[in-house]
Amino acid sequence: MLSTRHIRSLGYAALLMLASCAHSSPPPAAPTPAADADGFVTLFDGTHTEGWLQAGPGRMVVSDGFARTEGGMGLWYYPTQYKDFVLRLQFRQSTVESNAGVFVRFPRVDGDPWIPVKEGYEIQIANAEPDKLNTGAVYSFKAADKVPLKPAGEWNDYEIKVVGQTYEITLNGELINTYQGERALEGMVGLQNHGDKDVVDFRNVRIKAL
């Protein structure tokens, strides 16, 4: 333990350094945009990356009103904790095999994009086998009942509704998956940048707390 004499000799700046080392804290919550008439707030409007953070390699490149994945495997995430919510967004793939995902309800990241894989749920984007790895699946847990996916290069509408441990996934207006989870009841949301060959665009990311 430091004596009073030692504390005085350290000075204010050094004390701040000691405090920061002793107590690591999660990243500050992102600013909360105003809600629209339907109660949704826009997390990404296609013009800037304010409020978003990147974990792991790669990045999202913003241009022409959307964010495009580049490299990976990493995660672009919004550091606000949500409980029950409806998340809406649009995505398009350069090819139907292009791999990405929407992560929900992961309570922490700590700079490691694999933590959300283990502690949250990924709603898959990819033409992959087995079905639990295909678009609309709760990745590795439950396949979608059907996949009304539009051709590569066209925008798709994704809606993910989370209430308690019930996850409902809607693709292009059709409910395609309902899953009963068992992980955290609160967490963040994020978008995966999977790898150099997996080019996926995102836009109109909006969320409504329930």
pLDDT of residue 80: 97
> pTM of the entire structure?
0.83
Q: Is the bond into 73 cis (omega within 30 degrees of 0)?
A: yes
Q: What is the pLDDT of residues 135-172, one digit of tens each?
A: 999 999 999 999 999 999 999 999 999 999 999 999 99
Domains delineated in the chain: 27-209 (2.60.120.560)
Closest CA to 103 of 3, 198, 194: 194
Residues in Cβ contact with 145 at an 8 Å cutoff, skipping those fewer than 6 apart:
176, 177
Q: What is the pLDDT of residues 84-108, one digit of tens each?
A: 999 999 999 999 999 999 999 999 9
18-27, 96-105, 116-125, 128-137, range with the lowest pLDDT: 18-27
8 A C-beta contact, residue 90 and residue 157: yes
**Computed over its alpha carbons, how large is the radius of gyration of the chain?**
19
